[in-house]
Structure 1
Amino acid sequence: MWVVKIGGSLSRDPMLEDWLAQLTDFGGGRVVIVPGGGDFAEQAREHQAIWRFDDIAAHNMAVLAMAQYALMMQGLSRRLVIAATDAQIRAALHAGRVAVWAPLDLLFQEANRLTSWEVTSDSLAAWLANRLNAERLVIVKSCEIECERSIDEYAALGIVDPSFAGFTHDAPYPVDLLSRNEAPRVRDLLFQATTG
């Protein structure tokens, strides 16, 4: 199973449709898409700045932002299956489909290590990959990615959140950061994994 996080910054990018097409064409039964928060989550940040409500509320709003993006993705590609729980993810994959995660199980009433802006959808994708014993984690960004950089360097540059390195430090799977135009690379990797 692969976890592929598609950044919220692609929510207005024509490349989003290409990513969804490549993943549904070649990732059936193997891929779980994690949507970023994008503009939907930015609304939570803006309203928190105005009203000063706590990070628990902001986290829950950001989770709902990810769910909105998941619904948008399914609207663009009806072959995707919305999955909120581990059981729903596994059922979608077992049926040969691609799941898109709407992380409604991560709505919390009390603060914990996930309810902070230092934990964005990047870290939540790694958290899910760890929980599901994924074979690979792919993080898709709209910016250019220099493959020789470390995860700590990406965090220092603000490309991934400050908590991401902690979630992936001992990961038993490869972690790939890719730019928006690298969908064919993921297609090729999926194809190789299927035929190899």
Structure 2
Amino acid sequence: MEWIVKIGGSLFPHHAKKLLENLLGEDIMIIAGGGEFANKIREYDHELGFSDTASHEAAILSMDIMGILLADLVKGAEATQTIKEAKKIIKDGKIPVLLPSRILHYLDPLKHSWQVTSDSIAFYISKLMHTKLLIATDVDGIYTIDPTNSEARLINEISAKKLLTFGETAVDEELPKLLLKYKSDCYVANGKHPQRILSLIKSTDTIYTRIRGD
């Protein structure tokens, strides 16, 4: 297995389903973002002030929920809680959708903060499995400014160090720090265009942003 593809919650349900269907047959593993479930937890946290640990663990469980639902939508995908079983699912010719809560609860490697979302969690899993990480989201990659601004320009390649100065982008705030810590790269592409994700996996030209951890 060479790639983990994190399918952003913003793509669920229809774009996420279409993307996963197009990825069937590839030697990859999927991790789902928490989507609206995680957003609702964050909203309640702002109102009620949960502990950092409660918010963190609940948000991770929202990734499990999205993973279960996404795997159920696509014949040929199967949800799993373990890396060992994920490898077996691949050998059986299916795509595993990893539900990360058990692994994260046991290892607890990341700080409990809203700066850590499914992007950082997917990166951590990719380090455990020695794979590349592709983050499929609802925009083409990292932009010079807010992509809704007509002056925004897509950045094909950027250092994680420079990305730290950007503020809010298509990835969470902790991810660039982790890329620098582990001297690793990751890729961000638009999951609304499955062919771009396939092209990146197959190392052919497409539209994306590479974030360098050097």
TM over 0.5: yes
Distance in 1 separating the partners of 2:168 and 2:176: 13
Match of 2:66 among 66, 69, 77: 69
Indicate the SS of the match to 2:139.
coil
Q: CA 1:110/1:132 → structure 2, altered by over 3 Å: closer, same or farther? A: closer
Match of 1:153 among 140, 163, 183: 163
Q: C-alpha separation between the residues in 1 aligned to 2:107 and 2:89?
A: 30
Amino acid at match of 1:16: A
RMSD: 2.6
Match of 2:178 in 1: 167
Q: How many residue pairs get matched?
A: 188
Distance in 2, Cα, partners of 1:127 & 1:104: 13
Does 1:130 find its partner at 2:127? yes
Is the 2:190–2:197 contact (alpha carbons within 8 Å) kept by the matching residues of 1? no
- 1:104–1:157 distance in 2 versus 1, CA, 3 Å: closer
1:87-126 matches, cutoff 5 A:
87-106=84-103, 108=105, 113-126=110-123
Paired position in structure 1 for 2:208: none
Structure 1 residue 73: Cα displacement: 0.6
CA distance in 2, matches of 1:111, 1:75: 27
Give the corresponding residue for 2:135.
139
SS at match of 2:171: coil
d(CA) in 2 for partners of 1:41 and 1:76? 20
Q: TM-score, normalised by structure 2?
A: 0.77
Report sequence identity in percent. Answer: 26
Change in CA separation of 1:113 and 1:15 when aligned onto 2, cut-off 3 Å: closer
Match of 1:10? 11
Give the TM-score normalised by the residue count of structure 1.
Answer: 0.83
Higher relative helix content: 1
1:175 corresponds to which letter in structure 2?
Answer: C
- Cα contact 2:67–2:97 (8 A) shared by 1: yes
Any gaps of 5 or more consecutive residues in structure 2?
142-153, 205-214
